[in-house]
Amino acid sequence: MHETKIRVQYYETDRMGVVHHSNYIRYFETGRTEFIRSRGISYADIEAGGVLMPIISAECRYFHPACYDELLTIRTKISEEITARICFAYEIYNESAQLVCTGSTALAFVDAATRRPVRPPEAVARLLRGTANGAIAYLSTKQAPANS
Amino acid sequence: MHETKIRVQYYETDRMGVVHHSNYIRYFETGRTEFIRSRGISYADIEAGGVLMPIISAECRYFHPACYDELLTIRTKISEEITARICFAYEIYNESAQLVCTGSTALAFVDAATRRPVRPPEAVARLLRGTANGAIAYLSTKQAPANS
Amino acid sequence: MHETKIRVQYYETDRMGVVHHSNYIRYFETGRTEFIRSRGISYADIEAGGVLMPIISAECRYFHPACYDELLTIRTKISEEITARICFAYEIYNESAQLVCTGSTALAFVDAATRRPVRPPEAVARLLRGTANGAIAYLSTKQAPANS
Amino acid sequence: MHETKIRVQYYETDRMGVVHHSNYIRYFETGRTEFIRSRGISYADIEAGGVLMPIISAECRYFHPACYDELLTIRTKISEEITARICFAYEIYNESAQLVCTGSTALAFVDAATRRPVRPPEAVARLLRGTANGAIAYLSTKQAPANS
């Protein structure tokens, strides 16, 4: 499972003294972004390739509040087979290894020009699945025949 | 069902050109806050009374993107019997009456000093249920015997 | 001086118990947006017309903290002659008429396609100056000869 | 000059395709927080010691837009003698070493209980000035006589 660390910022806390619940949805995005990068492509590159990945659903369960200046660990994985959509699951832990929250998001693949659903480019799907080996595979599948 | 209107702000959009998905969780909070106010008490008053209402779960389904400067309608209701927790359901519509998203949140009642779960004060619960009539009932239940 | 009211949201407070200082910059944007709308055009329309107005400088002086659920009044005016840029000044007051903060922003006019500085369309500049009378003037200046 | 790196998040961009101007004020906070930590104390520790540091003024000049996923460098320094207030100056650069923006903030020292202005604890002031050597000095000045 992929791990990213983030530091809780002051502006993310609220007057209850803890992180405002909406910010965990943003932490999930950071976890997802770094997960994707770890697979050999950045989300910025996917967009540059003409594919957007808008969120179609998100949920979060809150177990323990995170506090200012804590160094949190976001654990991210793909939770379902990638089809016309991709599902991520998240767990966030604090420095004492307490479970702060869990969550999941489903994202669609959408053509940047038409905003209509598309299949993910096969090279991108392979990278995300972890069955291709980073940037080299990305290039080689581009040149590969249609049976890829 | 209670309705609140909010105007989409520029800082709530992202480079996809639409409202960033995390902001709907914040819109739900605005809907919930105004729902509570419409029942004759403000959430600020509930906190001033020593009870916090932290979120224990949240979820959102996205159907149609909201755009900059749109005037959105947030429809809010209580979706379950109030117990040691309270559940709200939300629907957000744009000016063309398109469904933008739906969602729900569950909140606990917590003692502000100890941060431990508590039952909601009966006067507060009655107001939230809509079975009491605003501020007057709030005062009278305070003076009422324990069978309230 | 134009006035807009906004309600402080929970997610805008921080663990100091008051509004996080970065949010006043966002309140200024709301004040500016509603000021522009009051002159007979929306900022969304200006962008739709191919002109963006990015911020080139911003400053804020903080006098009194704003608190959760307060209904703030943002007072906005244009503080300098409109040239290739436009300067706004702001004052924010709480419900007790205490001065919360003052600030100013300078914005450029930029061509949306080239992102290069441009003069504001004369019809837009007139509306912003308040020397034209809303949407009617906007239409008539469009048809007017170049000496407008 | 102290340097911190931050990655631009998707939710920090707006529909102009670049970072929303309000977020640089938040980046300054991150720069300031990491600057303070580099001097041997965390801002969280200063608050735990009973002293808050609210912002009394902030300003920012924008030169070049920052984009999604860019790794920005925040350069932070103390720009004036520390008195009853402390002033920080910031410069943010992108990966191409282009100057994105500059800014400054002034912060007061305030007693957490009374919210009234106070002198910074001498041990804290020394650490911030860089004339003490981290946590060890912090302890020793605590034991030092009043002429410290």
| Per-residue pLDDT at D132 exceeds 80 | no
- Residue position matching structure tokens 């992180």: A19
Minimal CA separation from C137 to chain A, in Å: 36
Query: Chain C: residue nearest B22 by CA?
Result: C11
| Per-residue pLDDT at C146 exceeds 60 | no
Tell which of A47, A51, A57, A87 to mutate to test the B interface (max B CBs under 10 Å): A57
| Per-residue pLDDT at D54 exceeds 60 | yes
Chain C residues near residue B29 by CB distance under 8 angstroms: 9-11
D22 interfaces chain B, CB cutoff of 8 Å: yes
| Per-residue pLDDT at A98 exceeds 80 | yes
Tell which of D4, D5, D6, D7 to mutate to test the A interface (max A CBs under 10 Å): D7
Minimal CA separation from B11 to chain A, in Å: 15
Q: Give percent above pLDDT 90 in chain B.
A: 86
Mean pLDDT of all residues in C18-40: 98
Contact D39, D134 (CB under 8 A): yes
Mean pLDDT of all residues in B44-66: 98
Cβ contact, residue pair C29, B9, below 8 Å = yes
Query: Chain B: residue nearest C6 by CA?
Result: B6
Measured on CA atoms in the order B24, B25, B30, B31, is the torsion positive or negative?
A: positive
Query: Chain B: residue nearest A25 by CA?
Result: B22
In this structure, which topology does domain A2-121 adopt according to CATH?
Answer: Thiol Ester Dehydrase; Chain A (3.10.129)
Show me where the domains of chain A are located: 2-121
φ/ψ bin of A112: left (φ > 0), alpha (ψ from -120 to 50), beta (otherwise): alpha
- Encode pLDDT of A41-96 as tens digits: 999 999 999 999 999 999 999 999 999 999 999 999 999 999 999 999 999 999 99
Mean pLDDT of all residues in A128-144: 56
Which parts of B8-118 are beta strand (E)?
Answer: 51-52, 55-62, 71-78, 85-93, 99-108, 110-111
Contacts of B55 (CB under 8 A, 6+ apart): A21, A62, B105, B106, B107
Chain A residues near residue C70 by CB distance under 8 angstroms: none
Rounded Cα distance, A90 and A104, in Å: 6
- Encode pLDDT of B79-121 as tens digits: 999 999 999 999 999 999 999 999 999 999 999 999 999 999 9
C111 interfaces chain A, CB cutoff of 8 Å: no
**pLDDT category of residue C133 using cuts at 50, 70 and 90:** low
pLDDT of residue D131: 80
Helix axes A134-143, A122-129, angle to 10 degrees: 150
Minimal CA separation from C43 to chain D, in Å: 13
Would you please indicate which residues of D are annotated as catalytic (active-site) residues? 14
For strands B55-62 and D85-93, give the pairing: unpaired
CB pairs under 8 A between B and C: 28
Phi, psi of C136 (to 5 degrees): -65, -50
Tell which of D59, D64, D102, D116 to mutate to test the C interface (max C CBs under 10 Å): D59
What is the model's pTM? 0.90
Phi, psi of B21 (to 5 degrees): -55, -30
Q: Which helix (H) or strand (E) holds D108?
A: strand D99-108
Rounded Cα distance, D89 and D96, in Å: 21
C111 interfaces chain D, CB cutoff of 8 Å: no
pLDDT of residue A142: 41
Q: Give percent above pLDDT 90 in chain A.
A: 86
CATH architecture of the domain covering C2-120: Roll (3.10)
B9 interfaces chain D, CB cutoff of 8 Å: no
Cβ contact, residue pair B29, C10, below 8 Å = yes
Chain B residues near residue C26 by CB distance under 8 angstroms: 9, 11
- Residue position matching structure tokens 């209509």: A116
Residues 47-76 of D with CB under 8 A from C: 52, 54-62, 65
Tell me the two tokens of residue B47.
């906190």
Partner residue facing D11 (CB), from B10, B18, B20: B20
